[in-house]
A and B are shown apart, each in its own frame.
Chain A
Amino acid sequence: MKRTMENQKLIDIRNLVKRFPIGDGSFTALRGITLAFAEGEFAGLVGPSGSGKTTLLNIIGSLDTPSEGSVTVLGREVTHLSHREAAALRNHHIGFIFQTYNLLPVFTVYDNVEFPLLLQKGGAAGRKKAVMKALEWVGLADKAQSRPAQLSGGECQRVSIARAMVKRPQLVLADEPSANLDADNSHHILRTMKRLNRELGTTFIFATHDEKVMHYLDRIIGLEDGRVARDERIENTTEDDHPPASGEIGGSELPGEEDFARP
């Protein structure tokens, strides 16, 4: 069963300012950002280094707090969240995909994907089913017992996607997910994410300056010097333009609502 995309406000950002202290002064990374993201968006924050993409992504992900303004994520004002509440928000509702994958090297692929679910203290049987399903989405079910060191960069990023998606979050934040990958692997993981976005209705927000990513986005928000320089919605068919490269995902059927218990 496919989830219905609703144009509800998932994220509401108003007059967001973020300053970082530097010596006696401060550096302003974000200058009065006002944005909103609806559920089911596949959007990207683009711009040169230092434009504030990652800072904005971190604040949306409740990893950082605003200096001024308000940021409401899934109905929660992140400025007022305690550490514990922010951790719970991230654990239950937000998935992260990092440029450097950030997999736990001592764990197997299975253990890495299972990790967020262990923090939710669910049943073992449900966890196993969810982990295997997530690995099937990204075409790595056969590598469940491999270690990250035994995988290619593309495979590591697919594990990272499975880890972000296994708990069925409403929001996935991806910081330069394709920066360390070659073209084939970049398209591969982007197609996977696009497909998850369409089939599950999960909102994806990217921070990127990779042209390849931009071709997949439905919305591009250009940042310059901490300000929104442009905000465009795009109709694209990029997924269909790039057929799967050899060895890509096996087209595992995406799960329906009954496969997961959303926290």
Chain B
Amino acid sequence: MLALKLAIRNLLGAGLRTWLTAGVLSIAFVVMVFYQGLLDGWNLHARSTTREWEIGGGQYWHPAYDRFDPFSLQEAHAPLSPQALELAAAGRIVPELITQATAYPDGRMVNLLIRGIPPGQQLLSLPTAALAADSVGIPALIGRRMAASLRLQPGDALLLRWRDRSGVFDAREVTIVGIFRADVPSIDQGQIWLPLATVQEMTGMAGEATLLVSAPDQAPLPLAGWVFKDTDFLLKEFTEVIHSKKAGSSIIYGTMLAIALLAIFDTQVLSIFRRRREIGTYMALGMTRGQVIGLFTVEGAAHSLFALLLASIYGLPLLHWLGTHGISMPEVADATGMTIGDKMLPVYSAGMVLFSVAVVILSTAIVSYLPARRIARLKPTEALRGRAQ
């Protein structure tokens, strides 16, 4: 308590120097919280959106299915077992049949994947009810990115060509009955959604599916002939991207933190040099060297308290505003295939904020302690004379 009282008085006595150092430290702290919050917000949004729109509570894959290898689709299909059919009827799983195709919008040729899905499913947020339309030949659903890319509007016809299970080419015209808007590019770009039964009939794969999407609250079941992939596996690539982004952003705020810490280190070195007589006085009055080191360490670390105070003055309103208004993302932001919203809303968890506070306090304490160790080599008599050793 004595050390903290003395530290705060000394820091306030140092005036502008203290506030400049604390200011830089507070910026580093706010940037740290913001970046972490932004990535956490993105992570949270992307995971929940991907679960809602594409992966549910996990997927059962045909053993031959590889989502990064379209050629695997030729083999990756199998009939649904009675158990799977029962689950599908109960709405606990949604079967999807996927096959490669070529579309010809406006005379152009575009490769895509046809995804067959039951129009009545309610497990995913895809507006598949539109596929139940019987007023058109083959109803098709596409995402806004696909619609923009192929310049398609609802009611437009699109020629599709595909191979059936025997490798024979066939072609038909489908009608766009709906364009959905989702933040998940992997269900939009290069994808066209058709009724499951239609795709099964087109490919000659009646009653078959490539994968089964499980309900979020459905515990994994041992379905014979299917391999369960949990959400952690299905979001593995995204998780890796978030980790890599966090590492990248830590360089930015780490650099800012380093600048502030360097200022504190420099201040400490200068302070110990200029206040040798004071150090000698402390020793003469009965403080041990350890106590004096502790005092100077607390004084340096107290910069972090000033920084947190400053950060709470301007950082709290700023972070709150960013948390409610978000940061608008450009149209091309999801061109990378990453799930990303129109706006990124930072999410500040108590754990993350406390962790950031701990990092700032701990790092300032360490850089304050390092120069303070020199005091251990200082003789009280030399210190009282104001001499360095």
Residues of A within 8 A of B (CB): 58, 61, 63-64, 83-84, 87-88, 90-92, 96, 98, 100, 102, 104-107, 115-116, 118-120, 163
Closest-by-CB residue of B relative to A106 is B9
- Are B278 and A90 in contact, CB atoms less than 8 angstroms apart? no
- Are A98 and B288 in contact, CB atoms less than 8 angstroms apart? no
B277 interfacial by beta-carbon distance below 8 Å? yes
> In the complex the two chains form, what is the Cα distance from A58 to B380 in whole Å?
9
Query: Is the contact region of chain B dominated by helix, strand, or loop, or is it mixed?
Result: helix
Closest-by-CB residue of B relative to A92 is B286
B289 interfacial by beta-carbon distance below 8 Å? yes
- B32 to chain A minimum Cβ distance, whole angstroms, is 31
Per-residue A-contact encoding for B275-293, CB less than 8 Å = 1, 0 else = 0011011011111110100
Please name all residues of chain B whose beta carbon is closer than 8 Å to the beta carbon of A96 when the two chains form the complex.
284-285
Closest-by-CB residue of B relative to A102 is B281
Q: Pick 30 A–B contacts, CB within 8 A, sort by A.
A: A58-B380, A63-B380, A63-B381, A64-B379, A64-B381, A83-B288, A83-B289, A84-B288, A87-B286, A87-B287, A87-B288, A87-B289, A87-B291, A88-B286, A90-B284, A91-B287, A98-B384, A102-B281, A102-B284, A104-B281, A105-B13, A106-B9, A106-B10, A106-B13, A107-B9, A116-B285, A119-B2, A119-B287, A119-B291, A120-B286
B6 interfacial by beta-carbon distance below 8 Å? yes
Closest-by-CB residue of A relative to B280 is A102
> In the complex the two chains form, what is the Cα distance from A88 to B278 in whole Å?
18
Top 4 A-B pairs, shortest CB-CB distance: A91-B286, A106-B9, A102-B281, A63-B380
Per-residue A-contact encoding for B370-389, CB less than 8 Å = 1, 0 else = 00000000011100100000
Please name all residues of chain A whose beta carbon is closer than 8 Å to the beta carbon of B280 when the two chains form the complex.
102
Please name all residues of chain B whose beta carbon is closer than 8 Å to the beta carbon of A88 when the two chains form the complex.
286
- Are B285 and A63 in contact, CB atoms less than 8 angstroms apart? no
Closest-by-CB residue of B relative to A120 is B286
Please name all residues of chain A whose beta carbon is closer than 8 Å to the beta carbon of B278 when the two chains form the complex.
102, 104
Query: Is the contact region of chain A dominated by helix, strand, or loop, or is it mixed?
Result: helix
Please name all residues of chain B whose beta carbon is closer than 8 Å to the beta carbon of A105 when the two chains form the complex.
13
Closest-by-CB residue of B relative to A101 is B281
Please name all residues of chain B whose beta carbon is closer than 8 Å to the beta carbon of A104 when the two chains form the complex.
6, 278, 281
Interface residues of B in 254-292 (CB under 8 A from A): 277-278, 280-281, 283-289, 291
> In the complex the two chains form, what is the Cα distance from A120 to B291 in whole Å?
13
Please name all residues of chain B whose beta carbon is closer than 8 Å to the beta carbon of A118 when the two chains form the complex.
2
* Most-contacted residue by chain A among B277, B278, B281, B286 (CB, 10 A): B286
Please name all residues of chain B whose beta carbon is closer than 8 Å to the beta carbon of A98 when the two chains form the complex.
281, 284, 384
Closest-by-CB residue of B relative to A167 is B286
Please name all residues of chain B whose beta carbon is closer than 8 Å to the beta carbon of A91 when the two chains form the complex.
285-287
> In the complex the two chains form, what is the Cα distance from A104 to B281 in whole Å?
9
| Residues of B in contact, count (CB < 8 Å) | 22
Interface residues of B in 323-338 (CB under 8 A from A): none
- A128 to chain B minimum Cβ distance, whole angstroms, is 15
- B157 to chain A minimum Cβ distance, whole angstroms, is 83
- Are B380 and A106 in contact, CB atoms less than 8 angstroms apart? no
Closest-by-CB residue of B relative to A58 is B381
**Beyond the given A58-B381, A64-B379, A116-B285, could you list 9 further A-B residue pairs with CB under 8 A, ordered by the A residue number?**
A63-B284, A63-B384, A84-B288, A91-B285, A102-B277, A102-B281, A106-B13, A118-B2, A119-B286
The answer to whether A116 and B384 touch (CB under 8 A), given A64-B379, A98-B281, A104-B281, is no
> In the complex the two chains form, what is the Cα distance from A91 to B9 in whole Å?
23
Please name all residues of chain B whose beta carbon is closer than 8 Å to the beta carbon of A102 when the two chains form the complex.
277-278, 280-281, 284, 384
Please name all residues of chain A whose beta carbon is closer than 8 Å to the beta carbon of B2 when the two chains form the complex.
118-119
Please name all residues of chain B whose beta carbon is closer than 8 Å to the beta carbon of A163 when the two chains form the complex.
285
- B248 to chain A minimum Cβ distance, whole angstroms, is 43
Please name all residues of chain A whose beta carbon is closer than 8 Å to the beta carbon of B12 when the two chains form the complex.
106
Please name all residues of chain B whose beta carbon is closer than 8 Å to the beta carbon of A106 when the two chains form the complex.
6, 9-10, 12-13
Please name all residues of chain B whose beta carbon is closer than 8 Å to the beta carbon of A120 when the two chains form the complex.
286
> In the complex the two chains form, what is the Cα distance from A104 to B280 in whole Å?
12
Closest-by-CB residue of A relative to B376 is A83
Please name all residues of chain A whose beta carbon is closer than 8 Å to the beta carbon of B10 when the two chains form the complex.
106
> In the complex the two chains form, what is the Cα distance from A119 to B291 in whole Å?
10
B277, B285, B380: the one contacting A115 at CB < 8 Å is B285
> In the complex the two chains form, what is the Cα distance from A71 to B277 in whole Å?
25
- Are A100 and B285 in contact, CB atoms less than 8 angstroms apart? no
- A124 to chain B minimum Cβ distance, whole angstroms, is 11
- Are B381 and A119 in contact, CB atoms less than 8 angstroms apart? no
> In the complex the two chains form, what is the Cα distance from A136 to B384 in whole Å?
28
Please name all residues of chain A whose beta carbon is closer than 8 Å to the beta carbon of B381 when the two chains form the complex.
58, 63-64
Closest-by-CB residue of B relative to A104 is B278
> In the complex the two chains form, what is the Cα distance from A98 to B278 in whole Å?
12
Please name all residues of chain B whose beta carbon is closer than 8 Å to the beta carbon of A61 when the two chains form the complex.
284
- A231 to chain B minimum Cβ distance, whole angstroms, is 24
- A27 to chain B minimum Cβ distance, whole angstroms, is 14
- Are A100 and B277 in contact, CB atoms less than 8 angstroms apart? yes
> In the complex the two chains form, what is the Cα distance from A152 to B37 in whole Å?
55
> In the complex the two chains form, what is the Cα distance from A61 to B379 in whole Å?
13
- Are B283 and A63 in contact, CB atoms less than 8 angstroms apart? yes
Please name all residues of chain B whose beta carbon is closer than 8 Å to the beta carbon of A64 when the two chains form the complex.
379-381
- A33 to chain B minimum Cβ distance, whole angstroms, is 17
Please name all residues of chain B whose beta carbon is closer than 8 Å to the beta carbon of A83 when the two chains form the complex.
288-289
Closest-by-CB residue of B relative to A91 is B286
> In the complex the two chains form, what is the Cα distance from A108 to B301 in whole Å?
23
Interface residues of B in 17-40 (CB under 8 A from A): none
Please name all residues of chain A whose beta carbon is closer than 8 Å to the beta carbon of B291 when the two chains form the complex.
87, 119
- A92 to chain B minimum Cβ distance, whole angstroms, is 7
